[in-house]
Structure 1
């Protein structure tokens, strides 16, 4: 794999922290950064996957890779990641807030603790991590922050209600921060993928939908990172998603949310 020229020119030799790096879009983001010559701090819950990934990326790209096993559902995890990087003397110039998960089904029938944990990982950990690493980027007058949101952030999604709400939070946070820190030389972007080849559907309990193709995680990662270094405050990495979001401007919200409800309504209901 070769990193894109625009990405390599912007970030080669820097250090990046990638959360949720063991699978899916997070893994693809780590691969794309490694191919661009970026040194990596990888974190996820599954240490065996991290170790295998780190060994491969070192061998293929000649970069440095550090692993930190952490569960971002734990409130102490972001501070743990900051302490580990500071103790190693690493200046994190690229923060990739990718860790997250979803849930599909009726809200009232869902596990309340699981829904709360989703908010903790998808929102609280993102706020905490970004708040810890962003001030030093501002001081250095350089840096990049990506927050992985979703095209689900553009409308309420019944039967994925908490997930879509967390991603709306993530997108709004990224877009607002992008304006706050632009004058300090720091770029912030929300990556808003749609259906992607990953473990997301399996974890979320989301059924496959006929006629709805999935984009490769590699393409999502590449387009997201290119948009980040180019200074785009949000990136929708596929044409159908861009068209959907554009058309929603001209349709009453109740019709949009109704269509989403019909799309994601469980078959058994």
Structure 2
């Protein structure tokens, strides 16, 4: 009882009832551990859990999220560039971005995922972290966008634009006119463009990118975000600091409740901003 009452973090959807931001989805925790099997530490988990025809609970949750997202956007590609951000590192932005993209690609939507986090490049790791990408285009080393866009091997309608070499001056690069040219170009070519951005509290990168986008999805991770921050999130929405904001609740636990299962989505996350955030990886404790 004391532990529950002293818990100051968001625990579930009920904690979000007091805010007016449009709510578009709740994703349960996803656990990638084989219990009792101990191995050497592995790299950070990169989980694409959305599978065509799969009817488990996490896939159903992504279908609901996809349907709500489709209601929010139009069919004429005028509001299809979407920024995904959060307050905290480790909220699961890259995980959600890739799985939302796969969910739409399965429905024959042409989807581009841009790794807009040029300090950590989590999304780029889904395609092997190539050495050429967004940073090379923004500084003029690459002229054609098509030269840096990578087709996903498993989904014919999914494309990823990685960071490339992590630059020493990402904020300055994002001020480049070439970023606006890139977004204007891909807006017309794809049904959906997702831009995985850094947390808003750490650097100015997200604010720069958001000015060129059409919508903002804010990720709140259960068990991570302090409930006191919800008031600040509501202020951001009311003051319209980000265009067309909506909210996803990530990593909820269904202990016999709404989902009826318990999932765990854990992974190593060390954000490269000198912030001190570091979340332990199950792999480093011997799981997979």
Instruction: Bin the TM-score by the shorter chain.
Output: 0.3 to 0.5
Structure number having the greater helix percentage? 1
- TM-score, normalising length from structure 1? 0.42
Scaled by the length of structure 2, the TM-score of the pair is 0.40
